[in-house]
Structure 1
């Protein structure tokens, strides 16, 4: 159980950091260059991780990296960048909180992880909290911004579960590096054709890109994919609800966005959903029992082979 909690704590780094990413993107990065913004986020992060792991893709991982890079990086980053520029920090981050339910349904179909009652209850409670925060925030809500954020949620949910399905046989740091590098390489020529020369960046923008690439991408995605490898998709999806909590609190404290009483109730419900998704000792015990046959309480590792020999009938003698 303690091991599971450590994986939960590590995974939680990702949504908390992503919650800050909306504010950094909106306040410090150029608003009219979403393609270059996404490329400058992904490619440096992927190259840094490649320098750390020093592994190249092998076999099927060449095309798998391309597919995952397109879903989890290229398309996802552009949509998130656009949503960050069109929506308030609180709204952009709360739309993504619908992803736990999407991840559970996709995981059920792709990796045969049937969502538990507690996970479904956590997703339902979290969705209610999302609605409270989304529908009662101050200021107008951009419909294109909401659509971009919702599309990002669906694309990434599918990509995350696909990465979980393909996780065997590849180091998590290496597979994360391959995805980010492939996604950045896809984005760079498209950005050059569509948006022209790279944008001129001042010192605050350079520092912001450094934070977005190294912390909100390289470190956060490594933590996220590590969690997907060791925890059920439903648990990881519900941990992702910490994203809107961080976004709303940061928008209130730093950006001066108004936090209403109903939004506070929504935050409480979101946190309750996260708690419901925690790994349980019963679930771990059940999987342990399923994988090994029960032994007599007096058995020890030293006597197990003797016990099996006693239970095995002696071979019949042959007459020649």
Structure 2
């Protein structure tokens, strides 16, 4: 059974991979097709996983899987891209950083997680750190973009809390497949309606889409959902601050972008917030648990124990566009 620390470290790989989205999108993908990128990131990977696992939802899980896939992937990607296109990158990333704050509050209200002073302070510090890292004084606001950014953060925060509340009735691979398919289907219509298909794809385009689909979707969401189900939501969502940090560091390392002293300080604040928020409070330290042995309900949505619903282990194997 993995410890809490090893689970956190594995879960942190997910937002780190999401942080590569900005670099891959700008350097490898066709321009001006964000919804197509989201669709190709989620839907093919989900269909492949679904074909491999051959497990469809049953009972209440048809609509639950659709809701989770929409909140965690489909609506989140759509709102994220609307915000990114209508706002300077720094503003969009800062608005997206409200996710841990909203998720921490929702976890207390919806699933009655204990109030964690560390989590609340870390969420506030992390948002300040992201603003220091990516927000410029010249940034202009567009209210549609602002609303989309806030709704995007709310969407994924609610998705995290509902994932925690509902658990999973099937192995992790199947659970992830359902959400990737649901999220990808949500994005198909806006992709075709507003963007259409490119005339052709280069080898670089194909490599970019493959990266977003396999490490950026399959691997990252397997690790992400595993962490959500095994650990307090407030300890997991704080890790999302790593996405803009990784994106900015990749810009510095790969694209030779320069960073000011304020940005370096913001990076330090983010790292401190992640360390602080991932630490359990002494009074509420949870026992280590593995998501691969945590069946919460059967496939009809009813509560179940491990004797009634055997769950096998699944393979455990963005800057502003992360996630």
Q: Shorter-chain-normalised TM-score: which range?
A: 0.7 to 0.9
Q: Distance in 2 between matches of 1:18 and 1:263?
A: 20
Which region of structure 1 is more displaced relative to structure 2, 85-94 or 236-245?
85-94
Map Cα deviations across residues 178-225 of structure 1 (whole Å, 9 max, x no partner).
011122123224433443445522111111000001111111111111
Alignment partner of 1:241: what SS?
helix
Alignment coverage as a number of residue pairs: 287
Which region of structure 1 is more displaced relative to structure 2, 44-53 or 229-238?
44-53
Alignment partner of 1:178: what SS?
helix
How much does 1:95 deviate? Answer: 4.1
Q: Distance in 2 between matches of 1:147 and 1:190?
A: 19
How much does 1:283 deviate? Answer: 4.9
Aligned to 1:269: 269
Report the TM-score when normalising by structure 2: 0.79
Aligned to 1:238: 238
Aligned to 2:7: 7
Q: Distance in 2 between matches of 1:96 and 1:67?
A: 20
CA contact (8 A) 1:20 1:250 kept: yes
Q: Distance in 2 between matches of 1:235 and 1:182?
A: 26
Map Cα deviations across residues 68-104 of structure 1 (whole Å, 9 max, x no partner).
2222222212233445566676665454332111110
Q: Distance in 1 between matches of 2:256 and 2:84?
A: 16
281 and 186 in structure 1: CA distance in 2 versus 1, 3 angstrom threshold: closer
Q: Distance in 2 between matches of 1:215 and 1:116?
A: 32
219 and 109 in structure 1: CA distance in 2 versus 1, 3 angstrom threshold: same
Which region of structure 1 is more displaced relative to structure 2, 148-157 or 117-126?
148-157
Report the TM-score when normalising by structure 1: 0.80
How much does 1:53 deviate? Answer: 2.9
Which structure carries more helix by proportion?
1
Which region of structure 1 is more displaced relative to structure 2, 184-193 or 85-94?
85-94
CA contact (8 A) 1:25 1:208 kept: yes
Q: Distance in 2 between matches of 1:92 and 1:25?
A: 16
Q: Distance in 2 between matches of 1:88 and 1:106?
A: 28
How much does 1:169 deviate? Answer: 2.6
Aligned to 1:318: none
Q: Which runs of 5+ in 2 are unaligned?
A: 289-323
